[in-house]
Amino acid sequence: MATNGYFTHGYGMTHKGMAGAGVAVSNDVMSAANNPAALAVKGTQFSTGLDLFSPSREYRVSDVDFFAEGGFYLPGSGQKSENDYFLIPEFAVGYDLNDQWNLGLTVYANGGMNTEYAANEGNPGTFYAGTTGVDLKQVFISPTASYQVSDSTRVGFAPVFVVQQFEATGVASFAGFSSAPASVSNNGSDTSTGIGFQLGIQHQVSPGLDLGASYRSSVSMSEFDKYQGLFAEQGGFDLPSSYQVGVAYQINSQHQILLDWQRINYSEVASVANPMSNIMAALLGADNGAGFGWQDMKIVKLGYQWQRTPEQALRAGLSYGEQPIPNSEVLFNILAPGVQEWHVTAGLTQNLSDDVAINFAAFYSPEKNVSGSNFLAPNQQVELSMSQFGFGASITWQL
C-alpha cells in the first residue's frame, strides 16, 4: 500500500481517497479498520476490494577508489528494484445485532514494498551475495464490536490477529557480523503470528461536528526463526503501536472536511529502530543488534467529501509525514527504502442501486530522496529514492 514507513496511508477505499483521513466518520463497513467505533451499519453490510499498488524503488551510490579507501563499499552506481506491481485485497462484513450493538470482521494488509535488486554476470549483487532484497507481508484479521453509548457517543473494540511472512536474500555477506550466521539470508519464507487489540471512540460535539480517536496496541510477534541471525532479539519483528485522532466538520449537506493526526511508534521495535552503529558493539540477532534505525512517524491527513448527487460522492485528500529514515541509516535501508512523505489522493463512490455501491480510490506519492554515507565505507555516498502510485476499487452491498 501507499506507505507511511511500511504502514498503509489508510484502510478502505473511501478513506484511501481522502489520504487516510476519517477516524471521526463512518462511511461504510471498512471504516472499522481505521476505528472500531466506526462500525455502525444497518442490517448486514459486506465490502470487498482490491488495490493495484506500484512503488518505484531505487538506490544510487557514488564512485570510490576501493584500494585507496578500503571498507565495505557497494559495487556499481546503484540499481532500480524489480517487481513494480502488487495486488492487495481487503474485506469486511458488519451486522447490527440491535439498536446499540454492531458486530463485524475486517481483513486488511500491509505489503507490496518488497525489494529485489538483481545480480548477474559482472554484477555480484548489492552486498556481493547475489540477488538482494527483502519481502515483508502482513495480514490483519480483526473481529470487531461497537456499542452506542448515547445518542452522541459510540465506542468500539477489536482484537487484532496478525500473520506476517518475511524473506531475505543476498545479505549473506553480513553473516560474519551475526550471532547465528546460518540464519541471515536465503532461508526462504518464514511466518510469524501475534495478537493485539484496537480501541476507538466517536463523539458528536454538535450537529455537523464529530470527533474520533483510535489506538492500536503494539503486537508481540513470534520470532522469525529462519532469520534469527538478522533481526534483533533473535529474529524478533514486533508491530509498533499507533494512534490517530481526528475531526470531521459538515460545512453543509453536501460538503465535509476532515482532519486527522496519526503517530506510528516505530521506536518500540528493536529490529526496526536499532541504529546501524550497533553493529560495532553487538552481533546481528542479539537483543541490541543493528536494525534499520527508523524513527517514529507523525502524519497529518486532510480529507474532503462532496456529496455531489444522492447517488455520487467525490473525495480528495492530502497527507504529510516526515519519513522515518535518518541520513546515517541509508546502508541497511537499501533493503527497505520507506522514505515517502507526501500523498495526494482522489476517490469516488457511485451507488448502483439502493443496496449496492462501488468505490474507487487513486493516489500518487511523489519521489523522495534520502542521502547519507555508507556506514561501513564512509567515503561512499548512498542515496535512496522512491515514488509510488496506485488505484483501487471495492464494492459494498447491503442486505
Residue burial 203-214, b: 16+ Cβ < 10 Å; e: rest:
bbeeeeebbbbb
**CA separation for the pair 34, 110 (Å, rounded):** 13
**CA separation for the pair 300, 322 (Å, rounded):** 10
Residues shown for the chain: 399
**CA separation for the pair 319, 57 (Å, rounded):** 20
| Structural domains of the chain in order of their starting residue, each with its CATH number | 3-398 (2.40.160.60)
The tens-digit pLDDT sequence of the chain (399 residues) is 457 888 889 999 999 999 999 999 999 999 999 999 999 999 999 999 999 999 999 999 998 765 555 678 899 899 999 988 999 999 999 999 999 999 999 999 987 678 999 998 888 999 999 999 999 999 999 999 999 999 999 999 999 999 999 999 999 999 999 999 999 999 999 999 999 999 999 999 999 999 999 999 999 999 999 999 999 999 999 999 999 999 999 999 999 999 999 999 999 999 999 999 999 999 999 999 999 999 999 999 999 999 999 999 999 999 999 999 999 999 999 999 999 999 999 999 999 999 999 999 999 999 999 999 999 999 999 999 999 999 999 999 999
**CA separation for the pair 321, 20 (Å, rounded):** 12
pTM of the model: 0.94
Write out the three cell numbers for 298.
507523525
Residues 250-292 pLDDT 10s? 999 999 999 999 999 999 999 999 999 999 999 999 999 999 9
Please tell me what DSSP assigns to residue 110.
Answer: E
Closest CA to 32 of 169, 164, 198: 198
Residue 240: count of CB within 10 angstroms of its CB: 22
Please tell me what DSSP assigns to residue 391.
Answer: E
Which stretches does DSSP call E strand in the chain?
Answer: 3-4, 7-8, 44-61, 78-80, 86-96, 101-110, 133-148, 153-169, 190-206, 209-216, 242-250, 255-264, 297-309, 312-321, 342-351, 356-374, 377-398
Residue 290 has phi, psi (to 5 degrees) of -60, 145
Q: Is 179 exposed, middle or buried (0-12, 13-18, 19+ CB in 10 A)?
A: middle
Please tell me what DSSP assigns to residue 185.
Answer: S
**CA separation for the pair 344, 359 (Å, rounded):** 17
Instruction: Considering only CA atoms, give the Rg of the chain.
Output: 22
